[in-house]
Amino acid sequence: MGFPIVSVVMITYGHEKYIEEAINGVLMQECNFDYELIISNDNSLDNTDSIVKKIIENNINSDKIKYFNHEKNLGMMPNFIFTLNQAKGKYIALCEGDDYWVNKYKIQKQVDFLEKNQDYIISAHRVDELINNTIQTGDWRYNKRKVNYTLPDYLYRLFFHTSSVVFRNKEIP
């Protein structure tokens, strides 16, 4: 694997029911660039660790995975910051261990948009939610009439679901 264009940041704690689907949704991505998946397990007390290790052993794309299993629970925000600090890509995508992607071109589409639109720093999209085995079409709190948002829009009201976000890694020029 060459230098990753996208670093997918995945924090997890107690996600044994969801982590396999979350990882597979990332590893199915088809794109014309390299990407990495950084998984940071915050000392889960369930079987998350063994599930991740099994995927690393058996998945053809496991070379894309960097896995960290903390010996001590850091807490959500310290674990997230730790994981962000591992990201080497020009772009960072978020997918938590209890979320998953269904579109195999997701990061390709978002990177293409950001590459063509240098004045944008983030790309996000509508998400659907699976609630009680029923898919809820998500408009996830955003204003359907707007296409472009500014920082004050976002600060006023959080409206991007984390699993939809790809943004520029300001640490990487």
Q: What is the mean pLDDT of each run of 10 residues along the chain (173 residues)?
A: 89 96 96 97 96 95 95 94 95 93 94 94 73 60 57 59 84 59
Task: Write down the pLDDT at residue 103.
Answer: 92
pLDDT at 159: 61
* Residue 153 pLDDT: 61
On whether the CB atoms of residues 128 and 42 are closer than 8 A, the answer is: no
Contact 111, 91 (CB under 8 A): yes
Angle at the Cα of 129 from the Cα atoms of 126 and 135, rounded to 5 degrees = 110
Q: To 10 degrees, what angle do helices 19-27 and 48-58 make?
A: 30
Q: SS3 of 92, please? A: strand
Please report which helix (H) or strand (E) contains residue 76, including its range.
helix 76-86
**Can you give the pLDDT at residue 131?**
62
Q: What is the DSSP letter of 72?
A: S
Name residue 10's beta-bridge partners.
39
* DSSP letter string, 18-68: THHHHHHHHHT---SS-EEEEEEE---SSSHHHHHHHHHHH-TTGGGEEEE
pLDDT for the residue numbered 171: 64
pLDDT score recorded for residue 28: 95
| pLDDT attached to residue 47 | 96
- Rounded Cα distance between 83 and 54, Å, is 21
The pLDDT of residue 91 is: 96
> From residue 156, how far is each of 13, 119, 122 by CA, in Å?
29, 21, 17
